Structure 1
Amino acid sequence: MNGTRAQEIILNANLIPGGVIGSPWRRSPTDGAHFVTIEHYIDVARTAERGLLDAVFLADAPDIHAKDWNAPSRLLDPFIAQSVLAAHTEQIGLVVTATTSYNDPYNLARQFASLAAISHGRVGWNLVVTGGDAAAQNYSRDAALPKPVRYERACEFLDVVTALWDSWQTDAILADTTTGRYLDPARIRPISHVGKHFRVAGPLKAPPLTHGRPVVIQAGASTHGVELGAQTADAIYTAHADIDSARQRRTEVRTLAAAAGRDPNSVKLLPGLIVILADTEQAARQRQRDLTDLIPDHIQVANLAARLGMNTTDLDLDAPIPWDKVPAEDTADGARGQRAVFLQFVRERALDTRGAARLLAAAGVHTTVVGAPEQVADHIETWFRTGACDGFNIMMDELPSGLERFVDTVVPILQRRGLFRTEYTHRTLRGHYGL
């Protein structure tokens, strides 16, 4: 291993079926249905592990989004998928997205403890708070709870989950063949939680967390989300269009963490990074154009309308964006944080409707690097060495081929520069992240 974890970049592979742009399935020799199968997931995970990456990250949402109608999406339940990946990998971390809005803390605590046991501590929880009425209507609600209530619930939810994880001491299993005692009741205690949103007696029925708690990762970009992450999370997934906004977010997170009594350097900031990689920058840019062109105009309009919270009839690709019809942030539905980042990016670059639609088609709420391996490595190194982040969630334009190219060409450059491991030195995600 070159140096310490603090001197090395954290790299996660974001497992987006087929790739982040959403069009490679149209030109793939493989049947398009393959990209939503576990075999595709296994292929990506094994490639990521071959590249010594820290984790495979599975995002999730409890409802179908606009893009899901026209491209492969994560249709598999992330707990089930990551359980299978645990059996097909040995050392890479496995991050599961689970919402606090439509789950029960006891069930979720048990699922994570079980996955931690079968993977020997390679588990992370991407904690999300779900907005949007469409999701709520899948869980016997007419509408989502108000945002402050959703985050209040999330804070208590996390308190309950961590208390349940801690309800077993790591040496609670005696398995004493002499006395016949298997569990030690003195080392397994109820939590007796009574709060505003939950009443949970405990203890948890799950194996003890002998490798420590699962890594808690937070992904909200709103003010509420940033505060929750700074106060509770081990790492924060973020979306940034440029390096300055990432630095500002890192400073903000550290300030909030210190105010909460935490070590301000203890929270890892991991922005998303879209990578479009080829032998030359010219070839990479042509690749980006070709992949974006594979998304028909009407689909680009539908996706843009969904992101803006507008009707498709209000958008014309050959006209300016009708800003007077774009809903205000406090009236928009869904993930407002990512929407705000996208709108900022569009306004700063004075994009018209077609430009905004193509930007979104290329998944453009995250910083993007288009180029040759050295250029990608330079981008990663600059952000890391100048204190903008602790690492990245890598989102390849195409999977699995794009990740194979990244592992074979970019990772060796980072290793030669002393920025990335040359072998795994830990077997847990907590160890990989240096927590």
Structure 2
Amino acid sequence: MKPIANIVSATLLACLAPTVPVMAESAEDVPAYAKKLAEAGKLHRLALEYDGETFSGPAMDKLLEEGRKAQFFLIGEEHGIAENPELATALFKQLQPAGYAKLVIEVSPYVASHMDETLRKGGIDGLRNLFARPGGEPAFFGMREEAQFLADVRASSGSSEPLLWGVDYEVASERLLLSALEEMDKPEAAVVKLAALRNASDASWEKYEETRGPQYIFSFSGDPELVQAVKDAWPERSGQAEQLLNTLQQTLEINRLFVGRQILESNAQRSALIRSNFLKHWAAEKARGETPRVMVKLGASHLVRGRNFTEVFDLGPMLHEIATLEGGKAFSVLVLPGLNAQTAVFDPTQFSYRPAPAKDGYAKAARPLYDAAWPDKYTLIDLRPLRSILRSPRSGASASLMKTVHGFDMVLIMSGSTASAELTHP
């Protein structure tokens, strides 16, 4: 592949794969802080039992206890673990009586709303039919367990009120946004400019289908000026149209920065978009006089407290501050695959998921925590009592391990976890 294809593949994998960087550390020379951390982790660990249908045990009790006390329940994940969305389903259902009524996911606001309505009317089969449309399958939810998670929590809500809050850009489903824009009344000049944007998208995807080159995925190859031209020709547009156009433009700008190797700028713009989208959801609820409890399930780096693993401030710090302002708190758990586990990895040349060994960066970055985990069961470790061991960089720990221990309240290591499967659809 050409260099640009390699960059796009790396970008997609960064969006759809692990988010904790590797910590170089020799297994033969375990430093003192790591030994202390592992020893302390064993003192503050709880077992999570899972028989394939039901989660139980002291760790489940602890997670539910923390969730009932929190305004926001944050699940920072390594994507592609089959058992993680199954756990999230169980947690959400059992926390609903405590007031949990919204679920934040890593797609755009429009696509989340569209999936929500599709699930409400047609359940998992409706989602399969949506994903069968060109551009209908968004990132992450083409995994079977992730799709079933959305279907199960939607069905359990017992309400017609919106459940899903999308907060991200749209790496895979911009054609849904274009279709929605095309259905709206607009000036003739905007019709012409929107047609040009659609033609560019179609041409890019046709090239992708011919070559399977990820550099032709439109969200990475499209020109944000095409979106700006539609905006200029449509000055008196609705709030919905503004949201759709803004998502398209931001997506193209963020990915253009990344492909141009302006990585920090790309990550900063994406995190700003995520925060802005959440605040719009939250403000709308407050305007209605509601203060729902919210579960947030995103990639780990989006939810770590403080600067994240890409050195920008993402959604996590803001949620902790909002919770404090509301007189409550946010609770965060980092979910990692077990040693020698497999996760579902996105293949951008096929636009599908396949099982592959879990990235060893997690085992290296969080090695003392893995050393504290049981090898044959899921282990929940409370990180809060461990922070005094890593109270300064002088401890010798890597920045990534410091961020992990201080940035999450607990870590769940799913020893024996398996890879998510592909969701089949017509």
TM over 0.5: no
The alignment's TM-score, normalised by the length of structure 1, stands at 0.29
From the two aligned structures, give the one with the greater helix fraction. 2
Question: Under a length normalisation based on structure 2, what TM-score does the superposition of the two structures give?
Answer: 0.30
Larger RCO (alpha carbons 8 Å, 6+ apart): 2
